[in-house]
Amino acid sequence: MKHELTNVIEHDNFQGEYRILRLAAPVTGPQVKPGQFLGLQVPNLGERILRRPFSIYQADASGVAVLYKAVGRGTEAMANIQVGDTVNIIGPLGNGYPEPDASKTPVLVAGGYGNAALYILAQRMKKKGIAFFGGRSAIDILLVKEFEELGWDVRPTTDDGSLGTQGLVTDAFDPWAKKQDFQSLEVFCCGPNPMLKAIGDRAIAHDFTAWLSIDRHMACGVGACLTCVIKRKTDTPKDWEWSRCCKDGPIYESREVLWDE
Ligand SMILES: Cc1cc2nc3c(=O)[nH]c(=O)nc-3n(C[C@H](O)[C@H](O)[C@H](O)COP(=O)(O)OP(=O)(O)OC[C@H]3O[C@@H](n4cnc5c(N)ncnc54)[C@H](O)[C@@H]3O)c2cc1C
Ligand code: FES
């Protein structure tokens, strides 16, 4: 993990409410593993100095890109970032996804920025599989064409039926998964926590592996403040321990996560 002062080379509308921010980051870019994220200091944010976490959508020797949506003060202030500005980042942060098991069928399940978070994984995996993407409406489902161009079979679901199956992502995943040998699946999931839990519950019930990227509020991003802790199951008499999503995660196997009811 390194601090880097990066130069903004692209900042534009991407799709729907999402914008793309591309940074020249020759130190960070080459180190990125799939599923890792950046701690980005939003310029000119006055008293709100905490970094915001963003999954790394693209990375190469020259830099990184993120796709983001404005949901509050920090992300709204990002709209003022101009091409040529300097942006301070730390990264790559977090553990990232493990090396895929070549003997299994890879399955991606994502929604919202989760599609962007899985893109590098999808790009670097030798074996392409099936991708279930969920969203409210067609405009909310990012990168369908890009995943298809990589060779993934993309199955969208939308709440309003404007693209793919109408319903939740599990309404497309469940009937497909029932026709497979469950234990041959390896699922990589990034999206809202209810989606992660739904996939995690199925992984435990049907005994397949599911890697979940847990979304928690983060303050420091480097394991120092404990803002982002979750309960991780252990074999100890207490059964669980606190785990820092920013440093020990954000990727956990479904059996490790003790969800707060
Ligand atoms: C590992 C990780 C990767 C992420 N990657 C991306 C990404 O690639 N693109 C993207 O658009 N967003 C991503 N996020 C979410 C993003 O970090 C938050 O939207 C951002 O920090 C909000 O900052 P803000 O100051 O605009 O909002 P705040 O003013 O802090 O909050 C505004 C609203 O958003 C909610 N909120 C804030 N942070 C989160 C969060 N982590 N999860 C759920 N709700 C939250 C608050 O409860 C509040 O309702 C990621 C989060 C994590 C933990
Ligand atoms: S955000 Fe500070 S410990 Fe995770």
Q: Are 14 and 96 in contact (CB under 8 A)?
A: no
CATH number for the segment(s) 105-258: 3.40.50.80
Q: pLDDT per residue over 145-172, tens digit each?
A: 999 999 999 999 999 999 999 999 999 9
Task: Give SS3 for 77.
Answer: helix
- Checking if the pLDDT of 247 tops 80, the result is yes
Give tens-digit pLDDT for 169-197: 999 999 999 999 999 999 999 999 999 99
E strands of 136-253, at which residues?
153-158, 165-166, 185-190, 209-213, 229-233, 240-244, 251-253
Nearest Cα residue to atom 20 of ligand 1: 52
The whole-number pLDDT of residue 50 equals 86
Q: Note the pTM of the prediction, 2 decimals.
A: 0.95
Q: Is the peptide bond before 106 cis (omega within 30 degrees of 0)?
A: no
Could you give the CA distance from residue 55 to residue 24 in angstroms, rounded to a whole number? 16
Q: Which atom in ligand 1 lies closest to the alpha carbon of residue 70?
A: 26
- Kindly list the domain boundaries of the chain, sorted by start residue: 2-93, 105-258
* CATH no. of 2-93: 2.40.30.10
Q: What is the pLDDT of residues 17-45, one digit of tens each?
A: 999 999 999 999 999 999 999 999 998 87
- Taking the centre of ligand 2 as the mean of its atom positions, its distance from the CA of residue 54, in whole angstroms, is 14
pLDDT at 261 over 70: no
In ligand 2, which atom is closest to the CA atom of 221?
A: 1
Neighbours of 131 (CB within 10 A): 24
Is residue 107 scored above 70 in pLDDT? yes
2-93 and 105-258, same CATH topology:
no
> Whole-number mean pLDDT of the chain?
95
48 has pLDDT over 90: no
Q: What is the pLDDT of residue 15?
A: 97
Looking at ligand 1, which atom is closest to the CA of residue 18? 11
Residues framing ligand 2 (Cβ under 6 A): 218-221, 223-228, 244, 246
Q: Starting from the CA of residue 74, give the closest ligand.
A: 1
Amino acid 47: pLDDT: 58
Q: Is the CB of 74 under 6 A from ligand 1?
A: yes
Angle between helices 169-178 and 193-206 (to 10 degrees): 10
